[in-house]
Amino acid sequence: MSEDLQYHQITLPVGQLKGVLRKTIYEDSYYSFEGIPYGQPPVGQLRFRAPLPAKPWNGVKNCTDFNTKPVLKNPFPGNVEGSEDCLYLNVYAKTLQSKAPLPVMVWIYGGSFHFGEATRSFYSPDYFMSEDVIVVTLNYRLCSLGFLSVADPTLQVPGNAGLKDQILALKWVNNYIKYFNGDPHNVTLFGNSAGGASTHFLAASHQTKNLFHKAICLSGTMLNPWSVVPPKDYAFRLAQEHGFEGENIDSSVIEFLRSLEAEKLVSHFILKKDDFRTGVSFPFAPCIEPYDSEDCVISCDPQLLLKDTWSNDIPIIFSGTADEGLLMYPQIKMFPALLKALTFDPERLLPHDVVANNDKSANMAMAKRLARQHFGEKAPTESTLNEITNYYTIKLFWHGIHRSIQSRLAYANAPTYQYRFAFDSPTFNHHRRRYCDKDLKSGVAHADDVSYLWYAIYLWKLDKKSKEYQIITKMVKLLVNFAKNSQMDVQRLETEGGDLNWRPLDKANPYEILDLENDFQIKTQKEKADLLIWDELYEKNKIIKQKL
């Protein structure tokens, strides 16, 4: 580091930290404390288990820079990166002194529970640091290291260790954020995709009551079909792939897996045809834990958790992007046989929980109903790519979001909001550009909104007069103002036409949505007709009893 940087020391009950005064790309100053340990290294006998709090340290810990990531297989180069010693978090503070402590926003990254890292390479707080707020980002374990599950309670590996990492980080925030000028009584938890689903899971867990006070789920909830994996022998399959020759006995499997290098535990191909057929894309993700325990996060069907959860008394925002299903564009182009499979095996159109809860004839009837809604009389082919990506937009994202909102409107006492990110930039919607390369010049893909919240190594400094910069300002203010003022039912937003009142959803208007295309507008949700058809899939086994 250059000699002209200003350092700052903070003393916590567990030890001293040295941070640094940084500047954003727009020259706003902020304090940065990176690589703060919140959990002990989850290695040896702690591998796969719930984390333990970090131990106190002597001396001054250097927290001026941080590049540690959890062990993961980078999907683009294909190489394995990261360290098992990964339970660290970062604190970014606009100021360390103010008349009143600042609201705290804790971010959980997405990445299918298999990828992601809390580094400034991907989640730099430059845009947030124009506001009076504290931002916390955190690492959590991924893939089998974070989500492997076995049924033997003596082994203490019921699953969801990655979610338990997140809870431990929230406990750290609750205990220590006051030393950074943060308000432990005003914490907003937010995340995107798997991070949005994580946020929703934590909002439904009794483990987290009073650890945060509002939530924002971007493009992910616990009711999305990819957010919970069914109970299968994934641990045994993983061991077999790496040479295990014993029987499927949990203790033997775990002992073998603990003997392997961490890199092998994230490098595997253990899914079978039936897994793909039922919509399982990744074998390791949140699961219903096979037995109750002191730190159990998901004890039963997630739908059941939502009825009586403590978070029905806190405000929540749900959101998605206009064209979430573009996430599937590369698979559709690379594997056209997937489209043929939707024709000769229509049950594939249905979410796996629907297939499991209905007989064959009912499933076929529902699948044909969906096919008519999305494809008309056409068979899904490459010539119907728009219709196919829209189908995935609803199936993988918006219907889970919608069902989560239905639950809130049936059971919650606190405000529920939703917005739709629809700003279509030819240059700054980086996930669409990554998924679709040069094939598509427009569309607002899954995670395109993240570029308007976080600075990253693949972005650039925008002219403040550009439309993209104006959208960044609107997005950041939207979330920060919610973090500051969510005790107010009506959120007041600035638009080019004057102030706009963003009201909570109610049973009379469950499809009213805040739409951000070029400016904020209140609209009827574009996806309404599709969502009404998808609702019919769950009529027979409906958990949410109150009809909207």
| pLDDT at position 382 | 76
Which two tokens mark 19? 């941070």
Which two tokens mark 487? 């005790």
269-283 pLDDT per residue, tens: 999 988 888 888 899
| pLDDT at position 331 | 87
248 within 8 A of 349, measured Cβ to Cβ = no
3-state secondary structure of 67: coil
Beta bridge partners of 184: none
Q: 250 vs 64, 440, 449, CA distance in Å?
A: 42, 47, 42
Q: What are phi and psi of 359, to 5 degrees?
A: -80, 170
| pLDDT at position 540 | 62
Which two tokens mark 173? 């925030």
Distance of alpha carbon 210 from alpha carbon 368, whole angstroms? 45
What letter does residue 424 receive in the DSSP assignment? -
427-454 pLDDT per residue, tens: 999 889 888 877 888 899 999 999 999 9
| pLDDT at position 2 | 45
CB-side exposure of 313: number of CA atoms within 13 Å?
7
Select from 286, 302, 524, 540 the least CA-distant residue to 407: 302
Percent of the chain with pLDDT over 90: 80
Q: Residue 452 region, left (φ>0) first, then alpha (ψ -120 to 50), else beta?
A: alpha
Q: What are phi and psi of 537, to 5 degrees?
A: -65, -25
Helices (H), 349-464: 352-356, 360-375, 385-392, 399-411, 430-436
Q: Which residue has the higher pLDDT, 205 or 547?
A: 205
Residue 481: CB partners within 8 Å, gap ≥ 6?
A: 491, 493
Q: Which residue has the higher pLDDT, 190 or 363?
A: 190
Q: What is the mean pLDDT of the chain?
A: 93
Distance of alpha carbon 244 from alpha carbon 545, whole angstroms? 47
| pLDDT at position 355 | 87
The domains of the chain, with CATH numbers, are 7-259+284-334+396-543 (3.40.50.1820)
Rounded mean pLDDT, 95-103: 96
Which two tokens mark 416? 């529920």
What pairing do the DSSP bridges indicate for beta strands 182-192 and 102-108?
Answer: parallel
From the centroid of its chain, how far is CA 168?
A: 17
Distance of alpha carbon 302 from alpha carbon 433, whole angstroms? 34
Select from 170, 164, 174 the least CA-distant residue to 189: 170
Select from 287, 312, 310 the least CA-distant residue to 300: 287
Distance of alpha carbon 322 from alpha carbon 5, whole angstroms? 42
Q: Look-up: residue for tokens 């929980």?
A: 353
Strand ranges in 427-524 using DSSP code E only, listed in sequence order: 491-495, 498-502, 512-516, 520-524
Q: How confident is the model at residue 225 (pLDDT cuts 50, 70, 90)?
A: very high
What letter does residue 129 receive in the DSSP assignment? G
| pLDDT at position 534 | 95
| pLDDT at position 547 | 40
Distance of alpha carbon 199 from alpha carbon 161, whole angstroms? 15
| pLDDT at position 271 | 92
14-38 pLDDT per residue, tens: 999 999 999 999 999 999 999 999 9
| pLDDT at position 548 | 39
31 within 8 A of 8, measured Cβ to Cβ = yes
| pLDDT at position 545 | 44
154-206 pLDDT per residue, tens: 999 999 999 999 999 999 999 999 999 999 999 999 999 999 999 999 999 99
| pLDDT at position 487 | 66
107-159 pLDDT per residue, tens: 999 999 999 999 999 999 999 999 999 999 999 999 999 999 999 999 999 99
Q: Look-up: residue for tokens 């044909």?
A: 368
Look at the chain and count its residues: 548
Scored b (16 or more CB within 10 A) or e, 227-253 reads: bbbeebebbbbbbbebebeeeeebeeb
Distance of alpha carbon 233 from alpha carbon 153, whole angstroms? 16
From the centroid of its chain, how far is CA 467?
A: 27
77-93 pLDDT per residue, tens: 779 999 999 999 999 99
Is residue 265 scored above 70 in pLDDT?
A: yes
222 within 8 A of 323, measured Cβ to Cβ = no
Distance of alpha carbon 269 from alpha carbon 8, whole angstroms? 47
Beta bridge partners of 416: 316
| pLDDT at position 3 | 46
Which two tokens mark 234? 């994934």
3-state secondary structure of 124: strand
| pLDDT at position 486 | 67
494-520 pLDDT per residue, tens: 888 888 999 999 999 899 999 999 999
Q: Residue 159 region, left (φ>0) first, then alpha (ψ -120 to 50), else beta?
A: left
CB-side exposure of 414: number of CA atoms within 13 Å?
15
